[in-house]
C-alpha cells in the first residue's frame, strides 16, 4: 500500500545514530533524567524554549507530544470557561475527537487559501459563548494552508475585542521549504490570550514525544498540575535527548536535512498532480509542512475505497470537519511518508481513478 494517509515523517528523516548518541550523552551528563522530577519537564529544555519565546521558563510546559498538551489545555479551558470551541474547517481530526469525548461542541470557522476567515470568526464570536479558538495557522493539518500576516493581525484584534483564549498549534512552522517565517499569533498578541503549542515530532522524531506549550503563567501552572496528576513526571530521558541535540548544535543541521528530504517529496507530489490532474482537480500550494489538500470532481469516500483496492490510501476530507459536515469531495494527501517514486506512482493511480 502506498500511504498518503500517514502524517508521519519518512523513515530516512529519523537519524537513529545521532539520537542514540544524544540519549547516551544525556544520561551520562545528568543521571537525574532517570528519576522522577518536575511535571512541567526537563529544566534545561524549558529554559532554552523560554529564552526562544522570551518568556519565563515556568510558562513553558513540556508535554508528551503536542496532542497530550491539547487534552490538558482543552480540559482546563472547558472547565474554566464553558462554551463552544471554534475550529478551522477543515481542522486536524484528533482534536475533534478529543473535544467530542470531552462533551464540547466544535463549531467550524470557514477558511480559504489564506487560512482562517476572520469575518467568519467574528460572526461565530457573536453567535454564542465561546470557550476558545483552536487554530493551526502555519502549513495547516490537513490543508497545508498558511494564515496571511494581515489575517493574523485581524485574528489577534478579534481575540482582544472578545477576550478570546486562542490555542495556536504550530508543529509544522519550522518545516518550511521556501519563503520567510510569518509572525506567530503568540508574538503578535504578546501571550496574554494566545497559548502557543509546538512539538519536536516533526523536527526531530515523533517517537521522542516531546511537545511544548507556552501559556500565561497561571494557566501553565494548572496544566503542569494536570500533568503531575496524570503521569507524575514526563519522560525526562527523551526531553534531555532533544536538549543534547540542541546543545551540541545538531538540531538545525538535522532540521535542514529533514527539510531537504521532505521538499523533494512535496515537489514530487506537486509535479505528479500537475501532470495527472491539471484541469480536473485543484490543490493547495503548501510552502512547508506535510500535507496537500485536493478538491476533487468526485466523491472522496468512493474514491478512497477504489484507491485502497488499487494499493493507495489517503484520508477523505470529511474526516476533518466537525460532524463530517464538509469535505465530501476533498482529500488530504500527506507527502511526508512515501518516497518520491511512490508519490509519482500513487498519484498516477489516484488520477486514473478520478478520470474513470
Ligand X SMILES: Cc1ncc(COP(=O)(O)O)c(C=O)c1O
Interface residues with ligand X (CB under 6 A) are 7, 65-67, 92, 136, 141, 169, 171, 199, 201, 206, 211
CB of 6 to ligand X, least distance (A): 10
In whole angstroms, the minimum distance from the beta carbon of 28 to ligand X comes to 27
Select 193 or 205, whichever has its Cβ closest to ligand X: 205
User: Grid cell 486514473 — which residue?
Assistant: 352
* SS3 of residue 11 by DSSP: helix
Q: Measured between alpha carbons, how far is 290 from 175 in angstroms, rounded to an integer?
A: 8
Written in H, E and C, the secondary structure of 56-94 is CHHHEEEECHHHHHHHHHHHHHHHHCCCEEEEEECCCHH
Minimum CB separation from ligand X for residue 355, in Å?
Answer: 31
Nearer to ligand X, 131 or 199 (CB): 199
SS3 category, 122? helix
CA 346 to chain CA centroid, Å, is 24
91 and 111 Cβ atoms separated by less than 8 Å? no
Decide whether 109 or 277 has the Cβ nearer to ligand X.
109
Q: Which helix (H) or strand (E) holds 311?
A: none
Give whichever of 47 and 65 is closer to ligand X, judged by the CB atom: 65
The nearest distance, CB 74 to ligand X, in angstroms, is 12
User: What is the number of the residue whose Cβ is closest to ligand X?
Assistant: 65
Choose between 186 and 281: whose C-beta lies nearer to ligand X: 186
User: Residues 6 or more apart from 136 whose CB is under 8 A from it?
Assistant: 88, 91, 92, 168, 169, 170, 172
Least distance between ligand X and beta carbon 278 (Å): 28
Amino acid at each position: 500500500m502506498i500511504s498518503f494517509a500517514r502524517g508521519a515523517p519518512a523513515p530516512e528523516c529519523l537519524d537513529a545514530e545521532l539520537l542514540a548518541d544524544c540519549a547516551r550523552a544525556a544520561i551520562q551528563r545528568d543521571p537525574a533524567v532517570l528519576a522522577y522530577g518536575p511535571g512541567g519537564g526537563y529544566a534545561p529544555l524549558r529554559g532554552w524554549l523560554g529564552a526562544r519565546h522570551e518568556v519565563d521558563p515556568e510558562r513553558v510546559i513540556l508535554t508528551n507530544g503536542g496532542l497530550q498538551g491539547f487534552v490538558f489545555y482543552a480540559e482546563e479551558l472547558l472547565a474554566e470557561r464553558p462554551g463552544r470551541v471554534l475550529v478551522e474547517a477543515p481542522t486536524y481530526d484528533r482534536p475533534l475527537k478529543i473535544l467530542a469525548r470531552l462533551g464540547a461542541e466544535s463549531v467550524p470557522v470557514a477558511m480559504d487559501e489564506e487560512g482562517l476567515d476572520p469575518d467568519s470568526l467574528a460572526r461565530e464570536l457573536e453567535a454564542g459563548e465561546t470557550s476558545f479558538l483552536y487554530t493551526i495557522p502555519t502549513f495547516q493539518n490537513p490543508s497545508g494552508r498558511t494564515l496571511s500576516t494581515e489575517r493574523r493581525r485581524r485574528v489577534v484584534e478579534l481575540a482582544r475585542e472578545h477576550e478570546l483564549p486562542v490555542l495556536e498549534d504550530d508543529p509544522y512552522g519550522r518545516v518550511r521549504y521556501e519563503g520567510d517565517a510569518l509572525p506567530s499569533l503568540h508574538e503578535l498578541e504578546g501571550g496574554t490570550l494566545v497559548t502557543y503549542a509546538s512539538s519536536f515530532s516533526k523536527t526531530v522524531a515523533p517517537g521522542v514525544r516531546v511537545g511544548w506549550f507556552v501559556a500565561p503563567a497561571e494557566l501553565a501552572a494548572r496544566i503542569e498540575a494536570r500533568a503531575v496528576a496524570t503521569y507524575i513526571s514526563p519522560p525526562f530521558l527523551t526531553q534531555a535527548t532533544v536538549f543534547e541535540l540542541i546543545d551540541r548544535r545538531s538540531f538545525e543541521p538535522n532540521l535542514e536535512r529533514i527539510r531537504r528530504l521532505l521538499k523533494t517529496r512535496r515537489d514530487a507530489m506537486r509535479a505528479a498532480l500537475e501532470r495527472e490532474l491539471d484541469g480536473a482537480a485543484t490543490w493547495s500550494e503548501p510552502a512547508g509542512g506535510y500535507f496537500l489538500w485536493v478538491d476533487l470532481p468526485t466523491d472522496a469516500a468512493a474514491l478512497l475505497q477504489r484507491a485502497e483496492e488499487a494499493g493507495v490510501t489517503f484520508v477523505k476530507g470529511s474526516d476533518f470537519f466537525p460532524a463530517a459536515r464538509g469535505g465530501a469531495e476533498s482529500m488530504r494527501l500527506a507527502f511526508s511518508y512515501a518516497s518520491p517514486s511512490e508519490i509519482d506512482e500513487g498519484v498516477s493511480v489516484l488520477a486514473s481513478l478520478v478520470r474513470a
